[in-house]
Amino acid sequence: MRLLRIRLSHFRGVHDREVTLAEDGITVLQGENEVGKTTTVRALDLLVDAPDSSRRADVRAAAPAGIDAGPEVEAEILTGPYRFVYRKRWLRRPLTELTLTAPAALQLTGAEAHARVVAILDETMDRDLWRALRVEQHTPAGQARLGGHDALTRALDRAAGGPDAAAPANQGTHVTGTAHAGTDSDLVERAEAELRRYRTPNGRPTGELREAEERSAGARVEHERCRHAVDAVEDDVAERERLDAESAALDRRRREHQAHVAELEDRWSGLQSRLREVETAHGHAVLLRERAESAGARAQARRALVAAADEAARTATRTGEIVAEHHDARTAARKERDARHAEHQRARTAAGLAREQARAADAALARAHDHAELADLEARLQRVADAEEGRRAADAELAAISVDEDTVETLDRLARDVLRAEAAQEAGSARVELVVPDTAAGAPELRLDGEPAHLAPGQTRRLPVRAALSVSLPGQLDVHVRPGRDGHALADAVRAAVEELATACADAGVVGPDAARAALRRAEDARRHRHDHELTVDRELAGRSLAEVRAARETLRDRLGGSDAAPATVRTDGVPDREQLRAAATTARAAADDAAAHAEETDHLRGLAEEAVREVETTAALAAQRAADARHAHECRAAELTDARTTAPDAELDTDAADGLARAREAENAHESLAAALAADDPDSVEALVVNARRVDERLNADTVALDRTRAETTGRLQSAGHQGWHDQLLAAEIELDAATREHTAVARRARAAHRLHDTLLRHRDAVRRAYVAPFRSEVERLARIVFGPSLSLEVDEALRITHRTLAGVTVPFDELSSGAQEQLALCARLACAALVDPADGVPVVIDDALGHSDPDRLARLGAVFTAATSRGAGQILVLTCTPERYRGVGAATVVALTPSRPPAREPAREPMGWDRTVATREVARDVGEDPPAAALPPTG
């Protein structure tokens, strides 16, 4: 497809502008930002894709701002054999017009026109390639996805395969094949989708295939289970049969064995009766032997009895002799004892007398003591009575005296008050000093208050004036001294004190303080005397009360019996008498003791004699007893013997013993012969056989029981299994297994088919792609060497992507190249496509402001690349740029400078001359008819 001309009206910011492009080679659209370069390309997309009725977002976005008009695009396009002008308006008064000029003139409008254009483009151009070959503004200049585009594929087919291999098929399908444009790669995707229904990318089963496998496995397990169950039942049936046979055989054996046992039992019971006979014989022999032995024993006993009777007779005789001997000894002993007894009686009488005397002496002594003590007590009582008298006197005196310490003290104080008052009076009153000069011839006759007073020369006498005083030298002189007023007061105080003292004395019953003190002293004395008397009483009573002492005196008096004679004796010759009495008592006691000792001794001797007598008598009694016993025993034995001989005489017993012995021997012999006969028949063996046979019988019984149990178990299992319907379950499981297997087979078959198809398609696609790589790479390298120099080589993968660049021997992965280098290589790849694709199939390559990463040197070289890409007459290249310098180096370029196209200020400019018509600076001479044929391209590589 080639775009010859495009006009935009009321389209976004463009008011109205027509751009004419070079039909072949490069057209550079240059202009400032927002002048509408990219919009121009977008408008072409919209013209082709959107029906005039569309209100898509991009259509609405194309509406001009502030003007009531629909966006409109008109383009003149040359594609395949068609050449047409196509015009569309959206939103306001929608419009579609198609004017075909080649191959035949035709005009269409509306939806018909739109459909026709879509058909024409689908038929003649590869729209995917059209998009792939654009470098959009502001998008990373990555590599285009070039694999799988029909036009490129055909071009590469041509380049790779040459004319012979693919040409006829391709020629044949060239036109119709385009109807399937894009299905090849789709087909691989669909085949993969189909494969993914069955297997994951890792090759594991999934979806239907996995379900089928699981179902199949489950069915196999279930079938196995049912078959096992059925087999188990079959086994049980066989087991039951075997058990039945075994049980029958066992029954037979038991019956046989029971016959054998019966026979043995018969034999054994015969032997048993004989055994019992032998035992009876044995018992008889034992009995006879015992009888014989008892007869012998009786004979023996008789002999012993006779011997015992003889012995008893001898013993009786001997004991009688002994008794006689003892009688004499007893008589002697008694005589001796009587003598001793008499002696003792005597001694005892003497001792009694002596003791009486001693007692009398003691009594006399005691009496003497009592008298002495009574006298003492009487004296004491007398002294106590005296003391009591004294004490009572003292008490009376004390009672009479009412003065105590306090009284004395009070009186003293009052006396001192009198003194003090007097002193005060003296001090306060005038004093009269009477002085007799030394020189005086003698003592004057002086009278004081009428009283003579003596005063020697040189003496002085002072007199207080207490009251009216008169000093007079009789005859010569009378001096009357009267006290003042103060002297009276003092005198009153003295008087008061004196009165108070007098009153106190009267109260205390004393004359004055001195008398009081004397009374106090007397009281003190009386108290002391009283105390002395109390001490005396205590001493005389010696701790006892007076009543006790008096009682003791009364006791003594009673004891002495009131005889007045004795006290007199005692009183008269008390002390010597008592000593005498004491000596006499002592002597008497000694005599009594001696007598007692003697009596004791005789008593002892008497006791000894007594003892001897008893001893002799005991011995005698004993001997008499023995003699009696012996006599009795002798009598008994004799009676016994007599009795025994009455029942069985001695001779008869001896005969019995001999006969019994003979019979016992006979019975023993009979037993031995019987036992020997039985032993000859070997009863032990028979018994062993019988025991064994019984055991065997038991064992057979046990076997039968065990067998019956096993049989019952098996039968029980069979019964329960019978109701399970295992046959039906097995059949169901078989059917399920069959169905599952069939399903699995079918699914697996589909899975295999999908795998095979996918595999085959991939293999062929890869083979084709590998074939495409070489021509594509050589074309890219041809262009890229212009930029990077002749040492460049590239690696291209099967998807026609550049993977590595090698420059001067250094290989770098594409992704690690600088942005500039990536951009340049990507551009080269696109231009290579444009150069490779048949001009008839080709689409414009649009470069929208690329090469921003390239330095000036590279830019210059890229210009050469553009030229080289178009030098073979292939393709239309449209470069949009706001920096024209980048593309200065492009030699063969048609440059179109775009200026802003704004609506006129007032009137809507509708006339053709108002259009901002940009004229191409370079006229392109070719037209459709002069397109070079596809075969004219030289094969590459």
Question: Exactly one of 343, 629, 743, 795 binds other proteins (CB under 8 A); which one?
Answer: 743
Nearest CB to other proteins, comparing residues 229 and 549: 229
Nearest CB to other proteins, comparing residues 289 and 755: 755
Distance of CA 941 to the CA centre of its chain: 86
Distance of CA 735 to the CA centre of its chain: 60
Q: CB neighbours of 931 closer than 8 A, spacing ≥ 6?
A: 839, 840
Distance of alpha carbon 918 from alpha carbon 896, whole angstroms? 7
742 binds other proteins (CB under 8 A): yes
Concatenating the DSSP letter of every residue in 208-238 gives: HHHHHHHHHHHHHHHHHHHHHHHHHHHHHHH
760 binds other proteins (CB under 8 A): yes
Distance of alpha carbon 358 from alpha carbon 735, whole angstroms? 155
Concatenating the DSSP letter of every residue in 311-375 gives: HHHHHHHHHHHHHHHHHHHHHHHHHHHHHHHHHHHHHHHHHHHHHHHHHHHHHHHHHHHHHHHHH
477 binds other proteins (CB under 8 A): no
Nearest CB to other proteins, comparing residues 184 and 417: 184
177 binds other proteins (CB under 8 A): yes
- 421 and 541 in contact (C-beta within 8 Å)? no
Looking at 188-196, 265-273, 399-407, 501-509, which segment touches other proteins (CB under 8 A)? 188-196
Query: At 783, is the secondary structure helix, strand, or coil?
Result: helix
Nearest CB to other proteins, comparing residues 518 and 718: 718
Question: Exactly one of 729, 806, 867, 918 binds other proteins (CB under 8 A); which one?
Answer: 729
800 binds other proteins (CB under 8 A): no
Distance of CA 377 to the CA centre of its chain: 102
Question: Exactly one of 436, 768, 829, 895 binds other proteins (CB under 8 A); which one?
Answer: 768
Q: Give the pairing of strands 25-30 and 893-897.
A: parallel
372 binds other proteins (CB under 8 A): no
Number of shown-chain residues binding other proteins (CB under 8 A): 61
The nearest distance, CB 51 to other proteins, in angstroms, is 27
888 token code pair: 């200065």
Query: At 754, is the secondary structure helix, strand, or coil?
Result: helix
Question: Segment 499-538, which members bind other proteins (CB under 8 A)?
Answer: none
The nearest distance, CB 737 to other proteins, in angstroms, is 10
Concatenating the DSSP letter of every residue in 424-462 gives: HHHHHS-EEEEE--TTSSS---EEETTEEE---TT-EEE
Alpha carbons within 13 angstroms on the beta-carbon side of residue 697 total 16
Q: Give the pairing of strands 916-917 and 14-20.
A: parallel
- 881 and 33 in contact (C-beta within 8 Å)? no
Question: Segment 143-162, which members bind other proteins (CB under 8 A)?
Answer: 153, 157
- 83 and 101 in contact (C-beta within 8 Å)? yes
712 binds other proteins (CB under 8 A): no
Cis peptide before 904 (omega within 30 of 0): no
**DSSP alpha helix (H) spans, 648-725:** 650-680, 683-722
- 513 and 408 in contact (C-beta within 8 Å)? yes
The nearest distance, CB 217 to other proteins, in angstroms, is 15
Nearest CB to other proteins, comparing residues 669 and 760: 760
Binding mask 38-67 for other proteins (x = CB under 8 A): ------------------------------
124 binds other proteins (CB under 8 A): no
Distance of alpha carbon 411 from alpha carbon 506, whole angstroms? 11
715 binds other proteins (CB under 8 A): yes
Nearest CB to other proteins, comparing residues 236 and 540: 236
- 255 and 648 in contact (C-beta within 8 Å)? no
Looking at 273-281, 751-759, 781-789, 895-903, which segment touches other proteins (CB under 8 A)? 751-759
The nearest distance, CB 173 to other proteins, in angstroms, is 5
224 binds other proteins (CB under 8 A): no
Query: At 856, is the secondary structure helix, strand, or coil?
Result: helix
Query: At 17, is the secondary structure helix, strand, or coil?
Result: strand
173 binds other proteins (CB under 8 A): yes
753 token code pair: 């088919």
Question: Exactly one of 117, 754, 834, 880 binds other proteins (CB under 8 A); which one?
Answer: 754
Nearest CB to other proteins, comparing residues 135 and 836: 836
Looking at 120-128, 245-253, 735-743, 920-928, which segment touches other proteins (CB under 8 A)? 735-743
Alpha carbons within 13 angstroms on the beta-carbon side of residue 551 total 5
931 binds other proteins (CB under 8 A): no
Distance of alpha carbon 412 from alpha carbon 425, whole angstroms? 20
480 binds other proteins (CB under 8 A): no
- 10 and 64 in contact (C-beta within 8 Å)? yes
The nearest distance, CB 906 to other proteins, in angstroms, is 59
Looking at 608-616, 658-666, 675-683, 739-747, which segment touches other proteins (CB under 8 A)? 739-747
765 binds other proteins (CB under 8 A): yes
723 binds other proteins (CB under 8 A): yes
190 binds other proteins (CB under 8 A): yes
731 binds other proteins (CB under 8 A): yes
Looking at 399-407, 763-771, 843-851, 892-900, which segment touches other proteins (CB under 8 A)? 763-771
Question: Exactly one of 648, 767, 897, 936 binds other proteins (CB under 8 A); which one?
Answer: 767
Sheet holding 451-453, edge to edge: 451-453, 446-448, 469-473, 477-481
591 binds other proteins (CB under 8 A): no
435 binds other proteins (CB under 8 A): no
Other Cβ atoms closer than 10 A to 533: 21
399 binds other proteins (CB under 8 A): no
Nearest CB to other proteins, comparing residues 180 and 495: 180
Nearest CB to other proteins, comparing residues 48 and 740: 740
Distance of alpha carbon 129 from alpha carbon 149, whole angstroms? 6
Q: CB neighbours of 10 closer than 8 A, spacing ≥ 6?
A: 16, 63, 64, 67, 69, 70, 71, 72
Nearest CB to other proteins, comparing residues 112 and 728: 728
339 binds other proteins (CB under 8 A): no
200 binds other proteins (CB under 8 A): no
Nearest CB to other proteins, comparing residues 53 and 183: 183
Length of the chain, in residues: 941
Question: Exactly one of 318, 544, 764, 902 binds other proteins (CB under 8 A); which one?
Answer: 764
400 binds other proteins (CB under 8 A): no
Nearest CB to other proteins, comparing residues 238 and 691: 238
Q: What is the DSSP letter of 933?
A: P
Nearest CB to other proteins, comparing residues 173 and 818: 173
672 CB burial (10 A radius; 0-12, 13-18, 19+): middle
Give CA angle at 44 (41, 50), nearest 5°: 130
Nearest CB to other proteins, comparing residues 211 and 629: 211
Question: Segment 226-255, which members bind other proteins (CB under 8 A)?
Answer: 230, 233-234, 236-237, 240-241
Question: Exactly one of 24, 72, 736, 781 binds other proteins (CB under 8 A); which one?
Answer: 736
Question: Exactly one of 136, 194, 668, 795 binds other proteins (CB under 8 A); which one?
Answer: 194
H/E element holding 106? strand 106-109
The nearest distance, CB 64 to other proteins, in angstroms, is 44
Q: Can you give the binding site for other proteins, defined by CB under 8 A?
A: 153, 157, 169-170, 173, 176-177, 180, 183-184, 187, 190-191, 194, 215, 230, 233-234, 236-237, 240-241, 714-715, 718-719, 721-732, 734-736, 738-740, 742-743, 746, 749-750, 752-754, 756-757, 760-761, 763-765, 767-768
